């Protein structure tokens, strides 16, 4: 059996980042609700108590079962996790008016958790409450200028006031590695092919001998799900591609070809009229997303009925869930992803989401292992709601056509310039504003196209891509010369946060 470390989720935005860092270090880390019964985690090699937004003095503050400290497992409390440990062992936690936020110099003691760390090392803090009195028996194993108790320890119970999982903590990876290998004594038996095993067993255990349909989009997530489902369910499974009319130029033909190449037998449903009718006169981004999510499900239900299928397999990823609804931690709604928050409550299908705990780059690793062609796993992400969230405001046929042309030229030029693979995601946006220009000797009053290109690891944060001036110039000139009705192009230089990657 694969070794496992349990992360008890107290609602931090970073909880899954801890799991992901541990997987990168060769260990299977599983995020569980903080209230999970102890017997379900007793065979873990160690436990992490995550951060969280609450104060240990809140009326309904969450605490782990105190029995966790009798399991004799190594425990690492991070941020709120440290405060939980401090309070439960008799120390004092207080709210400090000066919130400690950002990079700090941390002085570690000579401890197994901090083996091979620099003195001082940079750590990243984000907390309001702090430990003000050490619990009896605990000792301090690291400090910052503002935090006397930045790291504490009692036997194999450790607490860190900072976040080792974020990259701003420069040697956070070393700290997590020390915790796993020196303190939890793991061997490190998790590798990228373990992902495939997990995804396979998720499909088999959920679907059993029943029939399933799969939401196929042609992107890496649903292609990975399809190849694995095809292998484990065989003819009890049908991947379905819904042509919403919101796809990019040439995309539907490409999807047919890939489906053939991978032997997937994807069924293409022409739902263009249905989607465009449902979106008529709709301008609000959230309304668009809810309508699209609902229409997708209605199409899948209809197809599932024909196939006698009860299950819908989707390539939902972890970031889709954290930004879309609050089923993971107390995160706020950022935008309703079509395949998560926009699913109608009366859905007549059981959802199976084998990739729901993974990040995009992890799924790309799976794709490589199962021999999915490079052009698919290197493809930039494309959102399920398609061009509907890239046309700001109302969606019309004319706007779709202009955007399709502009985006095609943009992406084609990036490929020709050899920079497509060094960009995480690039696309065009139709901005419903007209501006004045001059072509030949004529005045024009034309459309505005926005260009977006970002660098990112997993889509959770992103920086705008720094083009060479001549590359951006070439792209812009091509769009203005070749797309009728466009007389101005702008480049988006916003990072996420505070912006998001898509404009809607
Ligand atoms: P944002 O705009 O939230 O996007 O910064 C992060 C990543 O998610 C993609 N995205 C979606 N993908 N359904 C999807 O399948 C959606 O509803 C959706 N909304 C955003 C976006 O393209 C980016 O890669």
3-state per-residue secondary structure call for 195-249: HHHHHHHHHHHHHCCCCEEEECCCCHHHHHHHHHHHHHHHHHEEEEEEECCCCCC
* Residue with CA nearest ligand 1 atom 7: 459
Res 72 pLDDT > 90: yes
- 289: pLDDT strictly greater than 60: yes
Q: What is the pLDDT of residue 61?
A: 93
> Which pLDDT tens digit goes with each residue over 149-164?
999 999 999 999 999 9
Domain ranges of the chain: 4-183, 192-377, 390-491
Block residue for tokens 């780059």: 361
Average pLDDT over residues 260-289: 97
Task: Identify the three-state secondary structure at position 471.
Answer: helix
CA–CA distances in Å: residue 301 to residues 138, 304, 324: 57, 5, 22
Report the SS3 class of residue 289.
helix
In the annotation, is 127 catalytic?
A: no
Give me the torsion for CA of 50, 55, 59, 60, rounded to 10°: -20
Q: How many CA atoms lie within 13 A of 15 on its CB side?
A: 29
75-78 sheet: strands from edge to edge:
28-33, 4-9, 46-49, 75-78, 157-160, 151-154, 139-144, 92-108, 121-133
Q: Which two three-digit tokens encode residue 105?
A: 């110099």
Task: Report the C-alpha gap between 278 and 423 in whole angstroms.
Answer: 33
Nearest C-alpha to atom 9 of ligand 1 is from which residue?
383
Q: Are 279 and 179 in contact (CB under 8 A)?
A: no
pLDDT band at 330 (very low <50, low <70, confident <90, very high): very low
For residue 504, how far is its CA from the centre of ligand 1 (angstroms)?
9
What pLDDT does 392 receive?
Answer: 98
By most ligand atoms within 8 Å of CB, the mutation choice from 383, 407, 495 for ligand 1 is 383
Dist CA 64 CA 87 (whole Å): 12
pLDDT of amino acid 325: 54
Which pairing describes strands 46-49 and 4-9: parallel, antiparallel, or unpaired?
parallel
User: What is the three-class DSSP state of 158?
Assistant: strand
Ligand 1 pocket by C-beta < 6 Å: which residues? 320, 323, 334-335, 337-339, 381, 383-385, 425, 459, 496, 500-502
Question: In this structure, which residue's CA is closest to atom 20 in ligand 1?
Answer: 383
pLDDT in tens, 405-457: 999 999 999 999 999 999 999 999 999 999 999 998 999 999 999 999 999 98
pLDDT tier for residue 95 given thresholds of 50, 70 and 90: confident
Secondary structure of residue 191 in the 3-state scheme: coil
Which position has the token pair 């941390």? 106
* CA–CA separation, 444 and 186 (whole Å): 67
4-183 and 192-377, same CATH topology: yes
Check residue 99 and give its pLDDT: 73
Strand partners, 177: none
Å from CA of 217 to ligand 1 middle: 13
Helices and strands, number each (H, E), in the chain:
13, 18
Q: Distance of alpha carbon 189 from its chain centroid, rounded?
A: 24
pLDDT at res. 106? 97
Question: What's the predicted TM-score (pTM) here?
Answer: 0.85
Q: Which one of 428, 459, 464 would you pick to mutate in the ligand 1 pocket, going by the greatest count of ligand atoms within 8 A of its CB?
A: 459
164 three-class SS? coil
pLDDT at 326 over 80: no
**The listed CATH number (3.30.70.1520, 3.30.390.30, 3.40.50.880, 2.30.30.60) that belongs to domain 4-183:** 3.40.50.880
For atom 14 of ligand 1, which residue has the closest CA? 383
Encoded tokens for 164: 């080792």
16 noted as active-site residue: no
CATH topology assigned to domain 192-377: Rossmann fold (3.40.50)
pLDDT tens digits, one per residue of 221-248: 999 999 999 999 999 999 999 999 999 9
pLDDT given for residue 375 in this prediction: 94
Residue 299 CA, ligand 1 centroid: distance in Å: 21
pLDDT bin (cut points 50, 70, 90) of residue 321 is: confident
- For residue 68, pLDDT over 80 is answered with yes
Give the atom of ligand 1 at the shortest distance from the alpha carbon of 293: 17
Report the distance separating Cα 447 and Cα 490, nearest Å. 11
Is residue 353 part of the annotated active site? The answer reads: no
Q: Residues 135, 138, 142, 143: what is their CA dihedral angle, to the nearest 10 degrees?
A: 20
pLDDT of residue 176: 98
Let me know how long the chain is: 504
Q: Which CATH architecture group holds 390-491?
A: 2-Layer Sandwich (3.30)
At residue 354 the predicted structure's pLDDT band, cuts being 50, 70 and 90, is: very high
Cα 342 to ligand 1 centre (Å): 13
Q: Is 254 left (phi over 0), alpha (psi -120 to 50) or beta?
A: alpha
Query: What's the mean pLDDT in 348-371?
Result: 93
> What pLDDT is attached to residue 332?
60
Does the pLDDT at position 264 exceed 60?
A: yes
Q: Ligand 1: distance of its center to the CA of 383 in Å? A: 5
Q: Percentage of the chain with pLDDT > 90?
A: 83
Strand partners, 448: 431, 488
DSSP string, 321-363: HHHH-TTSTTPPP----TTTTTS-TT--SEEE-TTTT--HHHH
- Using alpha carbons, list the distances in angstroms from residue 137 to 89, 97, 149: 9, 28, 14
Q: What is the mean pLDDT of residues 470-481?
A: 98
Q: Which residue, 483, 484, 501, is CA-closest to 492?
A: 501
Relative to beta strand 28-33, strand 75-78 is: unpaired
Return the pLDDT at 467.
Answer: 98
């Amino acid at each position: 059996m694969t070794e496992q470390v349990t992360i008890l989720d107290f609602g931090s935005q970073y909880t899954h980042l801890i799991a992901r860092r541990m997987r990168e270090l060769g260990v299977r880390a599983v995020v569980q609700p903080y209230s999970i019964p102890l017997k379900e985690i007793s065979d873990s090699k160690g436990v992490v108590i995550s951060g969280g937004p609450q104060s240990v003095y809140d009326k309904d503050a969450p605490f782990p079962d105190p029995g966790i400290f009798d399991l004799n497992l190594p425990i690492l409390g991070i941020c709120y996790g440290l405060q939980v440990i401090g309070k439960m062992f008799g120390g004092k936690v207080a709210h400090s008016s000066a919130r400690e936020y950002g990079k700090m110099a941390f002085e570690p003691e000579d401890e197994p958790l901090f083996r091979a760390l620099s003195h001082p090392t940079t750590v990243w803090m984000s907390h309001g409450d702090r430990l003000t009195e050490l619990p009896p028996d605990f000792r301090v194993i690291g400090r910052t200028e503002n935090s006397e108790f930045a790291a504490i320890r009692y036997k194999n119970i450790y607490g860190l006031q900072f976040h080792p999982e974020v990259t701003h903590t420069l040697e956070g990876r070393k700290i997590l590695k020390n915790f796993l290998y020196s303190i939890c004594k793991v061997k490190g038996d998790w590798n990228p092919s373990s992902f495939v095993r997990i995804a396979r067993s998720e499909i088999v255990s959920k679907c059993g001998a029943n029939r399933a349909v799969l939401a196929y989009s042609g992107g890496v997530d649903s292609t990975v799900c399809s190849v694995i489902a095809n292998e484990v369910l065989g003819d009890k499974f049908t991947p379905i591609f819904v042509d919403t009319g919101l796809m990019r130029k040439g995309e539907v033909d490409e999807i047919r070809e890939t489906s053939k190449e991978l032997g997937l037998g994807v069924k293409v449903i022409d739902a263009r009229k249905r989607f465009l009718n449902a979106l008529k006169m709709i301008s609000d981004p959230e309304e668009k997303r809810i309508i699209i999510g609902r229409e997708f499900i209605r199409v899948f239900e209809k197809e599932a009925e024909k196939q006698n299928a009860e299950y819908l397999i989707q390539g939902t990823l972890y970031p889709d869930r954290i930004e879309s609804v609050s089923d993971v931690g107390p995160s706020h709604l950022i935008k309703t992803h079509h395949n998560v928050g926009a699913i109608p409550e009366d859905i007549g299908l059981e959802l199976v989401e084998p990739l729901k705990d993974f990040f995009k780059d992890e799924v790309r690793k799976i794709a490589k292992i199962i021999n999915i062609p490079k052009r698919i796993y290197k493809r930039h992400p494309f959102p399920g709601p398609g061009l509907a969230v890239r046309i700001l405001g109302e969606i019309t046929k004319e706007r779709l056509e202009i955007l399709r042309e502009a985006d095609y030229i943009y992406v084609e030029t990036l490929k020709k310039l050899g920079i497509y693979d060094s960009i995480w995601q690039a696309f065009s946006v139709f901005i419903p504003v007209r501006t004045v220009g001059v072509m030949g000797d004529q005045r024009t009053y034309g459309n505005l196209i926005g260009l977006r290109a970002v660098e990112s690891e997993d889509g959770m944060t992103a920086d705008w891509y720094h083009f060479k001036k001549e590359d951006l110039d070439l792209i812009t000139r091509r769009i203005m010369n070749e797309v009728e009705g466009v007389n101005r192009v702008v480049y988006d230089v916003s990072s996420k946060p505070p912006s998001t990657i898509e404009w809607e």
